[in-house]
């Protein structure tokens, strides 16, 4: 690409961030959350692998983390999360529905598994983007 003067245009290098695909899952009108190594509550899901579709990534991650199968539904949100001062992650959230009634299991990847009524999420230590996605999916589900 060249400018009108004939000299090449220097394009800025785009940021390269990991992408984490997360799902909002309600069981008996309570949102399912997992506690991570930073003692924050987060939505189930995980890192998108090279060549993987986001919906398949999310279904795989939820099966690994909770031991249940889900249907991935609506795209809810996409936002940049500065995990640490030197590390950012692009978060993509979807609403999900369990395929069948099943008992949730905690994997070795997290410290705790919790189910919370929507009115309690305001007091939990978590990024605001997760709260936004939870409220959005609750509204779409009529909760």
What are the tens digits of pLDDT across the range 79-130?
999 877 778 999 999 999 998 887 899 999 999 999 999 999 999 999 999 9
Instruction: Please give the pLDDT value at position 12.
Output: 63
3-state secondary structure of 30: strand
Instruction: Quote the distance between the C-alpha of residue 108 and its chain's center.
Output: 18
pLDDT higher than threshold 80 for residue 5: no
For 16-48, what is each residue's pLDDT tens digit?
789 999 999 999 999 999 999 999 999 999 999
CATH class of 19-97+105-137: alpha beta
Instruction: Please give the pLDDT value at position 89.
Output: 93
CA separation for the pair 138, 42 (Å, rounded): 16
Are 34 and 110 in contact by the 8 Å Cβ rule? The answer is yes
| Three-class SS of the chain | CECCCCCECCCCCCCCCCEEEEEEEEECCEEEEEECCCCCEECCEEECCCCCCHHHHHHHHHHHHHCCCEEEEEEEEEEEEEEECCEEEEEEEEEEEECCCCCCCCCCCCCEEEEEEHHHHHHCCCCHHHHHHHHHHHHHCCC
Instruction: Please give the pLDDT value at position 102.
Output: 78
Closest by CA position to 36, among listed 20, 53, 50: 20
């Amino acid at each position: 690409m060249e400018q009108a003067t004939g000299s090449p245009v220097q394009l800025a290098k785009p940021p390269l961030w990991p992408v984490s695909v997360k799902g909002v899952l309600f069981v008996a009108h309570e949102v399912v959350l997992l506690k991570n190594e930073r003692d924050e509550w987060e939505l189930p899901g995980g890192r998108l692998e090279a060549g993987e579709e986001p919906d398949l990534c999310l279904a795989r991650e939820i099966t690994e983390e909770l031991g249940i199968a889900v249907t991935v539904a609506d795209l809810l949100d996409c936002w940049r999360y500065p995990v640490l001062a030197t590390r950012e992650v692009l978060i993509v959230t979807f609403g999900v529905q369990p395929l069948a009634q099943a008992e949730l299991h905690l994997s070795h990847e997290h410290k705790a598994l919790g189910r919370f009524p929507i009115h309690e999420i305001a007091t939990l230590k978590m990024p605001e983007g997760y709260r936004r996605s939870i409220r959005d999916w609750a509204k779409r589900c009529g909760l």
